[in-house]
């Protein structure tokens, strides 16, 4: 059970960090020359579960087209990524809450 909680904790950490990266993209949507960035949630989770203590690998977002001012932020894509990331975060939060409630019930003796 402790391993599951560690994975959920890592999921929360990674999705929280990814949210900051995506928010930075949105904030710089009108900044000339800004290149959209992202992290791979799946890749970072695999590294974290494997015990890696490396910093998150921030990469230039894939599949983005430069507009006239060489900015690669597409607000529709960024908002879709934020929505996906929010679902991951909320799911991990709910699962962790359920695990903690189960532990609390076990400590109370099921009462």
Q: pTM score, two decimals?
A: 0.87
CB neighbours of 57 closer than 8 A, spacing ≥ 6? 39, 40, 43, 44
> Angle, to 10 degrees, between the axis of helix 2-27 and the axis of helix 75-108?
150
54-93 pLDDT, tens per residue?
999 999 987 666 677 889 999 999 999 999 999 999 999 9
Nearest to 60, CA basis, from 34, 28, 82? 34
Q: pLDDT tens digits for 17-65?
A: 999 999 999 999 999 999 999 999 999 999 999 988 899 999 998 766 6
Q: What residues pair up with 60 in beta bridges, in sequence order?
A: 37
Residue from 35, 36, 23 nearest 85 by CA: 23
């Amino acid at each position: 059970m402790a391993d599951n909680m560690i994975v959920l904790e890592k999921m929360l950490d990674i999705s929280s960090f990814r949210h900051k990266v995506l928010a930075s993209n949105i904030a710089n949507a009108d900044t000339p020359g800004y290149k959209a960035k992202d992290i791979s949630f799946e890749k970072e989770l695999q590294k974290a579960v494997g015990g890696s203590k490396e910093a998150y690998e921030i990469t230039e977002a894939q599949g983005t087209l430069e507009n006239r001012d060489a900015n690669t932020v597409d607000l529709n894509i960024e908002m879709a990524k934020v929505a996906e990331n929010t679902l991951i975060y909320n799911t991990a939060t709910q699962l962790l809450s359920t695990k903690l409630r189960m532990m609390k019930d076990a400590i109370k003796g099921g009462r």
